[in-house]
Structure 1
Amino acid sequence: MQGNLNEIDIRSILQLIELGQRTGQLFVEIHSDYKCSGLCVDEIDRHHDCGDRQFWFVFFLNGQIIYAANGDNSLSRLSDNLRHYQIKVQLDERELNQIRAINALEYAYLWMLLEQNIINPTQARSIIHSLVHETLFDLLNLQQGNFIFEVGSALTPQLTTLEIAPALTEMIKQVQNWKLLYPHIQSPDQIPVIADIVNLRSSLPAVTVNKLQRWADGKTSLRQLARYLNRDIVTLAKAIHPYIQQGWVQLLTHKSEKIPNLEENRKRCILCIDDAITICTAVESILRNQGYEAISQRDPLEALSLIFKLKPDLILCDITMPDLDGYEICAMLRHSQAFRQVPIIMLTAKEGFFDRVKAKMVGATDYLTKPFGNNELVILVEKYLLPFCIKSNKRDTPLVDSVKDRVKILSQN
């Protein structure tokens, strides 16, 4: 049996194999410039390439699936799945030569690990199921290509089999759910990278943010991440989808693509230290409307602790305060290597020449006299932050609990 996927789709081919209880091998081939539904085929997995084509194998026994593979003839998929069990692929030359001739290289290596008791049968079956589901997901997304089914002897030995009908039902549902994520997510091999750490930290538990930072490294694709976590690609994509919509996580198409400059894309943080609540409220309102992250603190002693925690990009500091005045705060910060270059703007009702000189002597960057207008504050802040600041008039959309629930997968591993 052979033909073109324009004439008969993958689902029908698999159903015919199941109905006829066939034993043999299905080979599917596409050219890299073909497109599939909601997914660019040449992005499905770039290491599938063999010249200008990509291909997949599915092995059957009496109408059931034994194993399925892509055509890269390497151990990269298996290596990613073994990582979940903290097992590294290690082959010496002798072992590699023994299994190189087998057209299912990773299947042979999996059996080698079983025979050496490095993995157990339950783990091996789970890995095979994951590999089969991943292959079916790719095949069911195809709209064009050629196929050949060859009746022949079964791949041996067999560790497990999967019935086609329930596997198809599950994977068709996954493909349908995958298409709902388009256009924000277009390929399993897109690479996530953090684009707005400030909003992530303010909206998610620290442990979840740490997980995102660990995996969204500009090197690990969504598909690899799903393998590492032993999850299907759609579950993982759904978990990260809300943050891609918000712009807090971005997806790269290639590992060579420039990683967004996180310093340029995050909101600039401004801390206002003033014991007057009216000043704090006004500063927060004015600057937040301009797209900044504005935070105020009325207690100068607590403000020092907050400064080292937040590491603000600019500090507005009143001069006359109880316990610790603005001059002392500025002098202390200038003695810290971390804050020697941070702009510090003094806020005071005093207009005397001596006060300005003293502010400069302790390291203040500039001086703003109270009361001040909206434009005065914004112009002075932009003088020091505008070259680096990304402005936005959009109001942040709070995450609902259901969205937070979707990232439990990242927190649990």
Structure 2
Amino acid sequence: MRSHPTFEGHLNLARAYLNLNHSAEALPHLEKASKLKPDETIVKQALEKLRNRRLILAVDDSTTVRKIVSVTLERYGYRVLTAMDGMQALAKLDEQRPDLILLDITMPRMDGYQVCKTIKQNSYTKPIPVVMLSGKDGFFDKVKGKLAGATDYLTKPFQEEALVKAVEKHLKPRS
């Protein structure tokens, strides 16, 4: 028989994820800890602070690129959710609505252009800015990205500053 995690268990998991700069994974554990002990002020404050971070969905079939994007943006105070391909990204969009999507072009099963078109055809996800990531710096690729509905285009490998600037440039102010 498997026991359910306790308040302390969820709190420790949240701390562990935060220490690893995985705030998107820490959030559900903080939420569960808060439900188990709603009067814990420190947990409520941490939960509110985490919920206020802007959420970025980083989609790339490269584990290395996902890790670099995630660690970099977490350091700048964002929550980062990752997906290894377009299908996983679309599934995650059913669960959460990010403030911005970083989308690789060359991926298995469904390329970034197809994923971007799907995002832009859905009224729920259409307003989300999509920044395409590509190893190619070609004019044709940029035009094709714009036609698919991409907001911008960032060429890999990119510098940390370029990534952060692209994210900040396209995040809409909160209403």
Establish whether TM, by shorter chain, passes 0.5: yes
- Choose from 242, 252, 261 the match for 2:42: 242
SS in 1 for 2:109: coil
Q: 2:137 aligns with which of 351, 355, 360?
A: 351
Spell out, residue by residue over 1:240-291, the C-alpha distance to the aligned partner (whole angstroms, 9 max, x if none): 4233553729xxxxxxxxxxxxxxx711110111001110000001000000
Partner of 1:315: 101
Structure 2 counterpart SS, 1:248:
helix
How many aligned residue pairs are there? 150
Instruction: Pick one of 101, 107, 113 that aligns with 1:327.
Output: 113
Q: Which amino acid counterpart does residue 95 of structure 2 have in structure 1?
A: K
Q: How do residues 7-406 of structure 1 correspond to structure 2 at under 5 angstroms?
A: 201-205=28-32, 208=35, 239-246=39-46, 248=48, 266-385=52-171, 387-388=173-174
CA distance in 2, matches of 1:353, 1:373: 20
For residue 39 of structure 2, what is the amino acid of its counterpart?
A: A
Look up the equivalent residue of 1:329 and give its one-letter code.
V
Q: What is the distance in 2 between the residues matched to 1:333 and 1:380?
A: 19
In structure 2, the residue corresponding to 1:304 is in which secondary structure? helix
Q: Distance in 2 between matches of 1:288 and 1:207?
A: 22
Instruction: Compute the displacement of 1:303 (Å).
Output: 1.7
For structure 1, the residue ranges without an aligned partner over 5 or more in a row are 1-197, 210-235, 250-264, 390-413
Q: Which amino acid aligns with 1:362?
A: A
The residue type equivalent to 1:282 in the other structure is I
Letter in 2 for 1:318: D
Matches of 2:89 and 2:111, distance apart in 1: 12
Secondary structure of the corresponding residue to residue 338 of structure 1? coil
Deviation at 1:207, TM superposition (A): 9.5
CA contact (8 A) 1:268 1:313 kept: yes
How far the C-alpha of 1:203 sits from its partner, in A, is 1.3
1:318–1:326 Cα contact (<8 Å) kept = yes
2:144 & 2:45 partners in 1: Cα distance?
48
Dislocated runs of 4+, deviation >6 Å: none
| Higher Rg of the two aligned structures | 1
Contact 2:31 2:47 in 1 (8 A): no
Q: Could you tell me the TM-score, scaled by structure 1's length?
A: 0.34
**C-alpha distance in structure 2 between counterparts of 1:363 and 1:271, whole Å:** 16
SS in 2 for 1:239: coil
Instruction: Name the one with the larger helix percent.
Output: 2
Q: State the TM-score, normalizing by the size of structure 2.
A: 0.76
